[in-house]
Amino acid sequence: MNHNLYLQFSGNFERSPDKVLIDTPSGEQYRYRDVLSTSRRMAQVLRESGVKPGDRVVVQVDKSPQAIMLYLACLQRGAVYLPLNTAYTEAEVEYFLTDAEPRIYVCRPNDVVTAQHLAKRCGVPVVESLGAEADGSLMERVASAGEDTDITELDANDLASILYTSGTTGRSKGAMLSHGNLAANSQALAQTWRFTADDHLLHALPIFHTHGLFVACNIVLTVGASMTFLPKLDAEQLLDLMPRATALMGVPTFYTRLLASPRLNKETTANMRLFVSGSAPLLAETHKEFRERTGHAILERYGMTETNMNTSNPYDGERRPGTVGFALPGSEVRITDRENGDTMPTGETGLVEVRGPNVFQGYWRMPEKTASEFRDDGFFITGDLGLIDDDGYLHIVGRDKDLVISGGYNVYPKEIEQWIDELPQVVESAVIGVTHPDLGEGVTAAVVLKAGESLEESQVLAALQDKVARYKQPKRVFFIDSLPRNVMGKVQKNALRERYADIYINAETTNS
């Protein structure tokens, strides 16, 4: 039996050839048969370029419908699709090319010269370009290529993609995702979120990331739906498009930007049935205000590069703010003790571990690292800290690496952040541990204030005095304009730790 993920999508190309799969705000429309024809021609170009099943194809291009067609061509051919963030520097890309050893590197047209130098240094045989306007050398070759109709026969464990992690705690690791991983996860999500061919998704996410590619696009392709491709987040544009859409997938920034518009109300969102948020925690205040303004409860879910999606708040039932719901169909979630791996009782914090067909095959060429991340019974240690409450909802408390150990006591940043965020002057906060000469780590808070508001460090500390134990209370509070975030909206606490690395050491030196 052929387990190629492409077969999960291909039936929709035959059933609805004239249906628009992707459109753009500028009026471009790509029907299912258009996408099929172009992706088949791309598959032929890959074949002519010597791409064999299992070969890596590195893609660092701007978002476009043609980039999705290239993804489909790689699946059809059995190549391993490896998308890269367009913000990566030349040095970062050199690492990825050296590590992945791709057959082809596809870059933006303006980056061709640099890409060719990189490819020569890294031993990459072929360089092609692909632009956001359907331009570039790849499209020139596609124009004269025939259609390759062969679908490579694959096992469920054969690789479909490699996604590199951010590498904030060391060199980036390539998470290997199989055809079976991606097929199972998109099926579970389509079922859980009730997606059908009648849905139309507003797609404003990047497509080099799990959320935008393997959640959003794969669901649409699985059920035969349609989507509008926006190059970037534009809240007013989203509001313009909502009357003819049914769903939006975003990160918390999407919803704070929408709430900033006076146009967001029950009338503008009347045709929408689902708003999904993920990749970073959504503030309870945002959740509440959005529901009051629109009548829609944002649905939060939990996933990561290595596993795609693991849990989701229910489609029917309470979408509980501050939680990420229950395990998806076919998946399991448990909380274990950080020290001995024993399963923790309900309501107690520990490591979040997951098991299921969505969980990746391991890290590319890192067998020892892969082995260290899995339990003997197949559960993957996510590195996230969480708890499961009495009703079965999963709460993510933070990253294990972000846990603060102050004076020998564990301090979970999320607990402190929630109290700080409740202060009326505060937009959001981030709590970190910084090297402290006496305590090992000193609890430290970075706080973003609402426009026009003022707050003193002493006021924050006073507000926390009766809320949390003394060892949990910040030793210092700093006010900053905004929290550092990555492209998916996750707070980069490593950047904050670097910024404030010497505050207690310097204070000790000054006072001595």
The pLDDT value given to residue 405 = 81
Query: What pLDDT does residue 397 have?
Result: 85
What integer pLDDT is reported at residue 511 of this predicted model? 40
The pLDDT, as a whole number, for residue 401 is 81
Predicted confidence band at 424 (pLDDT cuts at 50, 70, 90)?
very high
Q: For position 512, what pLDDT does the model report?
A: 32
Greater model confidence, 167 or 183: 183
Confidence label for 468 from pLDDT (cuts 50, 70 and 90): confident
List the one residue out of 40, 45, 41 whose CA is nearest residue 10: 40
pLDDT at 167 over 70: no
Contact 491, 396 (CB under 8 A): no
Q: How far apart are CA 510 and CA 197, in angstroms?
A: 66
CA distance 38 to 42: 6
pLDDT at 168: 43
Mean pLDDT along residues 258-275: 97
Give the pLDDT band (50/70/90) at residue 114. Answer: very high
Gap between the Cα atoms of 420 and 422, Å rounded? 5
Structure tokens at 341: 């791996």
Which range among 105-114, 174-183, 481-490 shows the weakest confidence by mean pLDDT? 481-490
Which tens digit of pLDDT belongs to each residue from 186-208? 999 999 999 999 999 999 999 99
Alpha-carbon span 131 to 106, nearest angstrom: 10
Gap between the Cα atoms of 461 and 476, Å rounded: 8
Share of the chain above pLDDT 70, in %: 97
Share above pLDDT 90 across residues of the chain, in percent, rounded to a whole number: 80
Please state which of the ranges 225-239, 264-278, 463-477 shows the lowest mean pLDDT.
463-477
| pLDDT one-digit tens code per residue, 37-70 | 999 999 999 999 999 999 999 999 999 999 999 9
Q: How many CA atoms lie within 13 A of 285 on its CB side?
A: 13
| C-alpha radius of gyration, the chain, whole number | 24
Residues 6 or more apart whose CB falls under 8 angstroms from that of 268 comprise 239, 242, 243
CA distance 434 to 242: 44
What string of H, E and C letters represents the secondary structure of 204-230?
Answer: CCCCCCHHHHHHHHHHHHHHCCEEEEC
Q: Does pLDDT of 160 surpass 90?
A: yes
pTM of the shown model: 0.85
Query: What is the pLDDT averaged over residues 264-281?
Result: 93
Question: Over 80: is that where the pLDDT of 281 sits?
Answer: no
**Cα–Cα dist 302/323, whole Å:** 9
Reading phi first (left if > 0) and then psi (alpha if -120 to 50, else beta), residue 9 is in alpha
343 compared with 253, residue with greater pLDDT:
343
pLDDT of residue 507: 65
Average pLDDT over residues 222-227: 98
Longest dimension (CA), the chain: 77
pLDDT digit string (tens) for 344-355?
999 999 999 999
